[in-house]
Amino acid sequence: MAASYETAVALEDYTPQNDDEIALVKGEKVMIRAFNNNAHTAQGENEKGEVGWFPECKIAVQVQQVNALDFLAASMTNSTDKKQATISPRVDTSSLTEKRRQHSERLSTFLTQKPPRKLLVDKNILTQASDSEDIKVAQEAVMKEKESKRAKLEKFYLTKMDPKKKKDKDAKEMPEKELDALIQMMLDIPTEKKKDKIGFSGKVLAEWLTENNYAEGKNDVQALCNMLLNRLVIYETSDRTNTKFSPKDFYNLSCKNVEFGAMNLDKVWGADDAGDALTLSVDLLTNLMKYMQKKKLDFGNMRTDPQFVKIGLQMTALQKCNLDSLTYGSKEAFWINLYNIMVLFVYCRLCPPASRSDRQLIHDKCYFTVARAHYSLTEVRENVILGLNQFPAKDKRSTSTIDEKDKNRKALFVFGLPDGTEATPGFYVYNAATLESKLKEAAMVFLENKLVVDDTDLKIKCPRLVRTFKQFGIKDQDAIKLLSGWVLPWRSKIMIEQPGFELDIDSTSSQEPCYLFDSTVVGEE
């Protein structure tokens, strides 16, 4: 490509950063020898006869043949008029280079100031790099395809949990405890990388089951593998909905799956009784909190930790727990416990998010299957517990909503919904008998460090979560009265007896996430 260039002009002075680079003086001519489009650098010879590399944005090419990237940059400036996308050989390429330089700098800043995984979240990345309508259309098509696949997979999961579905006659039956023990043993099956997938072949799985005396003979192995596929213990890496086992296919354990989506589907719960829903939530949250307090958390290897896998398998009972038997108080405690479980488990499985926008994405996209219905973290918080949004009337999840009319009690619920940062309270285990007292304890511990009463300026500085009170229709003075009941007596006395206080709600306390998973913020039952 360098042969098509004759000379370029330095747009500004440039000081070399290493031995491979040369200095440029604004206005001097440079003979171009090569380009590195990946690094956005060029190689050339300056007027002193020095040969070396320099940033491509420091020069303007003066030739009749235009670089392909310049042509692309020009086409982006007017993508609505395809006829104007053709560049004349006499075009002023310096303006095109400047346009591309601006795009490159914005993209470079974006990549260096934000973690790479942010690219998966920020849908504006392509529009920051260009103004091309074609790229926008392509991006929308990709997102639409992903959402379509996601919806198809969610429907497939619910179908597998339907008690009315036909059972595979060729598949074995296995009680939950025996299946859990088998899954934990299967963590030792050696994996390999095949193209972009990690897992093991069906042949390796069949041999492992035979060697470890879980099955005898070809027919027995086939029946056991069919059961593992139908219970979603394993999945075929190229097609998650494939339920026909073949030794030639490539598989992996569902408990090792780390993509966004289903969080408590390490297996499909079978015919065994899932037990009382509230008791299940208390046990799960207690076990999860003990696990997180027991040792230093290694989020990178947690998904294959047998102890964490065991908790994940216990959580599959939520798929078929009975919510109809919950009384009013039990229902509140169950859903608040469940939200605490969801936050802790999702962060353990995916690692704590690096920013508020990452955290919101996780809360919107990651879901748990509860009583054969999918609930995201946002839906549990906003729809079920706080009632800020409503499920459609035809949605069977609408019956799970806590119909709490007392807005002051709703405000207290907010202190039972942590997100793991300093901007929200700690994690606690709740039960029906002590729900309200435990929520008040969580509020008092949190507000002791986060609420500041300034009797000089008559300001009460509050954490950001107090902003939610306004969504319940609670006015500032009523909020002050509520908060005074959840702080220490001496502070409450000042707030009540001295008139004229105003709320000053913090809007920056959670800009930089700080995840607190140690014993100082995790409460006990």
Task: Report pLDDT digits (tens) over 263-275.
Answer: 888 999 888 888 8
| Residue bearing the bigger pLDDT, 235 or 522 | 235
Least confident of 115-129, 285-299, 440-454: 115-129
pLDDT of res. 271: 81
- Token pair for residue 375? 């609930």
Higher pLDDT, 55 or 127: 55
Half-sphere exposure of 274 (CA within 13 A, CB side): 24
Task: Could you list the beta-strand ranges (E) of 163-322.
Answer: 192-194, 197-201, 234-236, 250-253
> Is the CB of residue 426 less than 8 Å from the CB of residue 516?
yes
Beta strands in 144-258 (DSSP E): 192-194, 197-201, 234-236, 250-253
Output 84 or 357, whichever has higher pLDDT.
357
- Residues 434-440: contacts with CB under 8 Å, at least 24 apart: 435/329, 435/332, 435/333, 435/336, 436/409, 436/412, 438/523, 439/412, 439/413, 439/415, 440/412, 440/485, 440/486
Confidence of residue 280 (pLDDT cuts 50, 70, 90): very high
Please list, in sequence order, all residues whose beta carbon lies within 8 angstroms of the beta carbon of residue 516, skipping any fewer than 6 positions away.
420, 421, 422, 426
Q: pLDDT digit string (tens) for 477-497? A: 999 999 999 998 888 888 888
Report the DSSP pairing between strands 59-62 and 51-55.
unpaired
pLDDT band at 292 (very low <50, low <70, confident <90, very high): confident
Question: In the chain, what are the domains?
Answer: 2-113 (2.30.30.40), 176-250 (1.10.10.10), 277-403 (no CATH), 442-505 (no CATH)
Bridge partners for 411 per DSSP = none
Q: Are 415 and 442 spatial neighbours (Cβ–Cβ below 8 Å)? A: yes
Residue 294, judged by CB atoms within 10 A of its CB (0-12, 13-18, 19+), counts as: exposed
SS3 of residue 273 by DSSP: coil
pLDDT at 188 over 60: yes
Q: Higher-confidence residue: 167 or 467?
A: 467
- Averaged pLDDT for residues 19-43: 81
Let me know if 258 is exposed, middle or buried by CB neighbors in 10 A (0-12, 13-18, 19+): exposed
Q: Is the pLDDT of residue 104 over 80?
A: no
102: left (phi over 0), alpha (psi -120 to 50) or beta: alpha
Does residue 136 have a pLDDT over 70? no
Single-letter amino acid, residue 108? S
395-to-106, 374, 390, 401, 441 alpha-carbon distances in Å: 44, 11, 10, 11, 35
Q: Is 368 within 8 Å of 291 (Cβ atoms)?
A: no
What average pLDDT score do residues 328-341 get? Answer: 94
32-36, 381-385, 460-464: least confidently modelled range: 32-36
pLDDT of residue 473: 92
Which range (15-19, 51-55, 304-308) has the least confidence? 15-19
Q: In this predicted structure, what is the pLDDT of residue 304?
A: 82
CA nearest neighbour of 504 among 462, 450, 473: 462
Q: How many helices (H) and strands (E) does the chain have?
A: 16, 14
Per residue in 169-185, pLDDT (tens digit) is 555 778 899 999 999 99
User: Which residues does residue 29 pair with via DSSP β-bridges, in sequence order?
Assistant: 9
**Segment (H or E) for 135:** helix 133-161
Q: What is the mean pLDDT of residues 470-480?
A: 92
Least confidently predicted of 65-74, 199-208, 352-361: 65-74
For the segment 381-387, the average pLDDT, to the nearest whole number, is 94
Q: What is the pLDDT of residue 505?
A: 83
Degrees, nearest 5: CA angle 78-105-38: 90
Neighbours of 392 (CB within 10 A): 8
pLDDT for residue 42 = 84
The pLDDT of residue 3 is above 60: no
Q: Among the residues of 297-427, which ranges form H helices?
A: 306-315, 328-350, 356-365, 377-379, 407-413
Q: Torsion angle, CA of 453/458/461/462, rounded to 10 degrees?
A: 90
Query: Which of these ranges, 222-226, 292-296, 468-472, has the smallest mean pLDDT?
Result: 292-296
User: Would the pLDDT of 206 be above 60?
Assistant: yes
Is 90 exceeded by the pLDDT of residue 208?
Answer: yes
The pLDDT score that the predictor gives to residue 260 is 66
Query: If pLDDT is split at 50, 70 and 90, which confidence band does 464 have?
Result: confident
Tens of pLDDT along 345-375? Answer: 998 888 888 778 888 888 998 899 999 899 9
Report the residue count for the chain.
Answer: 525
